[in-house]
């Protein structure tokens, strides 16, 4: 299994008055990694939603903050599919600062549920999507 990764700097809008990353900013970083991983496997969100006729809303999010990230830190955000069920999948995330070694500064996971776009009724995860993510399944 491979982990998909992106790099992104902690910007002024991401920090609090102490210049430490605001916890809510991590969600944005996770979203960047998630959407770029889907793009990498051929399912940019605009295309996926149209082609597969599903939405993937979050059902559950959890995050552990281990070390403070600060203004201008370069973060590496790794993302992978840690579980696939009938109607949902779990994405896991790991955040490090590559310029300062491989210390993990945060971990997180999301549970995404497949729903039909017009009714929001739960549906099975599209097989085409599951297959496309095989490289990033752990």
Give yes or no for residue 46 having a pLDDT over 90. no
Percentage with pLDDT > 90 across the chain: 92
Check which CATH number belongs to the domain holding 81 and give it. Answer: 3.10.129.10
Give pLDDT tens digits for 89-113: 999 999 999 988 889 999 999 999 9
Q: Is it the case that residue 16 has pLDDT exceeding 90? A: yes
Domain that holds residue 117: 4-136
The count of domains in the chain is: 1
Mean pLDDT of 72-87: 97
pLDDT at 138 over 90: no
Sign of CA dihedral 41, 47, 52, 53: positive
pLDDT band at 25 (very low <50, low <70, confident <90, very high): very high
List the end-to-end C-alpha distance of the chain, in Å, as a whole number: 5
DSSP codes, 102-129: S-EEEEEEEEEE-EETTT--B-PPPHHH
DSSP at 21: B
Predicted local confidence at residue 100, as pLDDT: 83
Question: What residues have CB less than 8 Å from 104, skipping those under 6 apart?
Answer: 66, 67, 94, 95, 96
């Amino acid at each position: 299994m491979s982990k998909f990764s992106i790099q992104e700097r902690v910007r002024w809008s991401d920090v609090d008055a102490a210049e430490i990353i605001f916890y809510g900013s991590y969600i944005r970083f996770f979203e960047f990694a998630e959407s770029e991983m889907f793009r990498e496997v051929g399912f940019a969100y605009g295309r996926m939603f149209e082609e597969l006729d599903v939405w993937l809303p979050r059902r559950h999010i959890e995050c552990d903050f281990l070390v403070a990230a600060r203004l201008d830190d370069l973060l590496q955000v790794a993302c992978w599919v840690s579980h696939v069920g009938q109607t949902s999948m779990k994405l896991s995330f790991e955040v490090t600062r590559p310029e300062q070694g491989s210390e993990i500064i945060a971990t997180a996971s999301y549970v995404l549920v497949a729903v039909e776009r017009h009714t929001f009724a739960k549906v099975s995860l599209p097989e085409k999507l599951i297959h496309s993510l095989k490289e990033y399944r752990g």
